[in-house]
Amino acid sequence: MKIVAVCGMGIGTSVLLKMNAEKALRAMGVDADVEAADIGTARGAARTADVVLTSDELAPEIGEVPAKVIVIKNFTDVNEITEALQSSIA
């Protein structure tokens, strides 16, 4: 499974989201490749991803992609990320 964590610049918050998504996935026992990306890179990466994690503001900018786009309100809330992933990959 491939997951892309997206923020505007691809530096700080997407890396934080990536790390917390990996933590959530480990707790769920799910093996996945999680990468951090800026919005420009994410448009291409989302075409081969299964899931995209991003903010409400950036979700529409991802465009039409086969990946499931999941909006995360709080990138530091591992419980929110876990719940979102559980409902989308179950």
Rg of the chain in Å (alpha carbons): 11
The answer to whether residue 7 is catalytic is: yes
Backbone angles phi, psi at 65, to 5 degrees: -135, 155
Kindly provide the residue ranges of all beta strands, DSSP E only, lying in 1-90, ordered along the sequence: 2-7, 33-38, 51-54, 68-71
Determine the Cα angle at 21 with ends 61 and 67, to 5°: 40
The catalytic position among 4, 5, 7, 17 is 7
* DSSP run (H or E) holding 38: strand 33-38
Residues with active-site annotation: 7
